[in-house]
Chain A
Amino acid sequence: MDKYKCSVCGWIYDPELGDSDGGIPPGTPFEKLPDDWVCPMCGAAKDLFEKME
C-alpha cells in the first residue's frame, strides 16, 4: 500500500496507521478514503495529496 504526502503541509498518510482522529482504521489504503476526508494536519482536500515514490 502506497503512502501519500500532502502537497500543502507535507503530512504523510501511512495506510498502515490510518488516521484515528479522522475515524480511518489502520490498514485503509489511500484510495479507499472517503472523498470528504481531509488532511488532519492542515485540512487540505484528498486531491491535494501526491503518491510517494
Chain B
Amino acid sequence: MVTELTQGVYWVGVVDWAIRQFHGHELSTHRGTSYNAYLIVDEKVVLVDTVLDSFRGQLIQNISEIVDPAKIDIVVANHAEADHSSSLPAVMRHAPNATLVVSQRGKESIEGHYHQPWNFRAVKTGDKINVGENDLIFVEAHMIHWPDSMFAYLTGKNIFMTNDAFGQHYAAVFRFNDQVNREELYEEALKYYANILTPFSGPVLKKIEEVLALNLPVDVIAPSHGIIWRKDPLQIVKKYQQWAAQEPEKSAVVLYDTMWEGTRHMAEAIGQGLAAEGIPCKLFHMGVSDRNDVVAEVFKAKAIIVGSPTFNQGPLPTISPILEDLRGLKFRNKIGAAFGSYGWSGEAVEIIEKHLDLCKIQIVAEGVRAKWQPKPDDLTKCRELGQKVAQAVIA
C-alpha cells in the first residue's frame, strides 16, 4: 500500500501492527510502529531510507507499484540503525547502480553493519544533490540520535525527511497527523522523546535553531516512524523545543519495589504527603511496571522519589533498570528523595541517595528507613517526606 504525499513523492513504508518490543527488548511499543521510507520520482529516482529487513519484500513491492526498483538512482540512508537500514542489502541488489548517500559517520556505520562495497557518497550539512526539478539538501544531525543521523530536505515540495527525529512508535491506517487521534499521537511522540532523545536535548535545541535559521519553507515533516506531520508541521518542532528545555511539571513520581509490602506502605504514605500539599503524584511498582512508560512519567515530573527495601546489602535488583535510566537519560531540573524498609543492614536508601546525586537529581528531603514493617511514626515520617518534597516542587 503506497500513499502519495504530494505529486511525485510517495510513502512506500510498512506498518508493523504487531511489534511490542523494540531495540531487542529495550523499548516497549504498545501501539506498534511503522518504518517510513519515501520514494521521490523526478528525473532521478530516489529512495529515502528503508524498512526493517523482515518487511523488505513489502518495501520492494511498494516501490514496484510506482517504478521499477532497478531504476532507483540514489538511495539515501539517513541513519544506520537496522530498523531503517536493514533492507539496504535487498534494495541495493534490486538497484545495483544506485549511489548510496550517507553522512560521513553514516558511511562508517553502514559499512560496519553490512560490510558491502556499495557506491557510497558521503555528504555534509548544506550539500545539495539535484534530482531533476528539485534538489535534495542534507543536514547532519549528530546525536539526534546517533552520530550518523541526518535529515534530507526536498526543495520545491518543502518536505523535511528527519528520520527518527519527530517520530513516534504508532501504527495507524492513516499516514498524516490531521487523520489520527491527537492525544495518542502526542503520547507516543513524548514517550519517544523521553526514552531516546532526552540525553541529547542540548544538540536538539541547537539543531532546531540552526535549521530554523535556514528559513526553508516546510510544508511536511516526514519522520521515519509513525505519523507524518503535514497540518501545522512546525507544531512538533515547537514541542521538541519545549521538551528539550526540560522544564518539568509541578508533579511527582514515586518509583519503588517491595518484597513484603513494607516499602509499598511507605510509598503510599509519601504519596499522601504530596497530595496533602496539592502536588499530583503517581506511584509505580517497578517490579510490575513498564520501564519505558515510567520513563515518560519521570520525564514530565519535577520530583523523582525512589524506594527499595534492602536486599543483600543493596537495593532490589528489580529497581536497578530504572536507576540506570535515571543515569543514562541525563534528566535535568529534577529533585528527589529516597526511602525503604529493611531488616538488619539497611544500605539501600543511602545507595539510592548516592545514585540520585550521581544523576544530578537534587535531594531535597532526608531519606526515610523503616525497620521490618513500618510503624505509625515511620509512616508519619514518610508523609512528612512527601510534604517536604512537595514544598520543594512548589518553591
Q: Which residues of A approach B to under 8 Å, CB–CB?
A: 8-9, 41-44, 48
Contact = CB atoms under 8 A, between A and B. Distances in A.
Listed from nearest, the 7 A-B pairs whose CB atoms lie closest are: A43-B142, A42-B142, A42-B143, A41-B147, A42-B147, A8-B143, A9-B143
B105 A48 contact: no
Interface string B189-225: 0000000000110110000000000000000000000
11 contacts: A8-B200, A8-B203, A9-B143, A41-B142, A41-B147, A42-B142, A42-B143, A42-B147, A43-B143, A44-B142, A44-B203
B140 A43 contact: yes
Contacts of A44: 142-143, 202-203
For the residues of B in contact with A, the DSSP-based class is helix
B251 to A, nearest CB: 28
A48 B142 CA distance: 14
Contacts of A43: 140, 142-143, 203
A45 to B, nearest CB: 9
A8 B143 CA distance: 8
A44 B201 CA distance: 12
B206 to A, nearest CB: 9
B71 to A, nearest CB: 35
Interface in B133-154: 140, 142-143, 147
Contacts of B140: 43
Contacts of B199: 8
Contacts of B105: 41
A52 to B, nearest CB: 16
Contacts of A8: 143, 199-200, 202-203
A9 B149 CA distance: 13
A48 B202 contact: yes
A23 to B, nearest CB: 15
Contacts of A41: 105, 142, 147
Nearest to B203: A8
A43 B140 CA distance: 10
A41 B105 CA distance: 8
Given A9-B147, A41-B142, A43-B143, 17 more contacts: A8-B143, A8-B199, A8-B200, A8-B202, A8-B203, A9-B142, A41-B105, A41-B147, A42-B142, A42-B143, A43-B140, A43-B142, A43-B203, A44-B142, A44-B143, A44-B203, A48-B202
A41 B147 CA distance: 6
Nearest to A6: B143
B201 to A, nearest CB: 10
B31 to A, nearest CB: 30
Nearest to B141: A43
A2 to B, nearest CB: 21
Contacts of B143: 8-9, 42-44
Contacts of B200: 8
A9 B202 CA distance: 12
B135 to A, nearest CB: 23
Nearest to B207: A43
Of A9, A43, A48, chain B has the most CB atoms within 10 Å of the CB of A43
A48 B330 CA distance: 14
A32 to B, nearest CB: 24
Nearest to A43: B142
Of A8, A9, A42, A44, chain B has the most CB atoms within 10 Å of the CB of A42
Interface string B88-114: 000000000000000001000000000
A41 B142 CA distance: 8
A9 B203 CA distance: 11
Contacts of B202: 8, 44, 48
Contacts of A9: 142-143, 147
Contacts of B147: 9, 41-42
B274 to A, nearest CB: 32
Nearest to A38: B142
Of B105, B142, B199, B202, chain A has the most CB atoms within 10 Å of the CB of B142
A8 B147 CA distance: 10
Contacts of A48: 202
B125 to A, nearest CB: 9
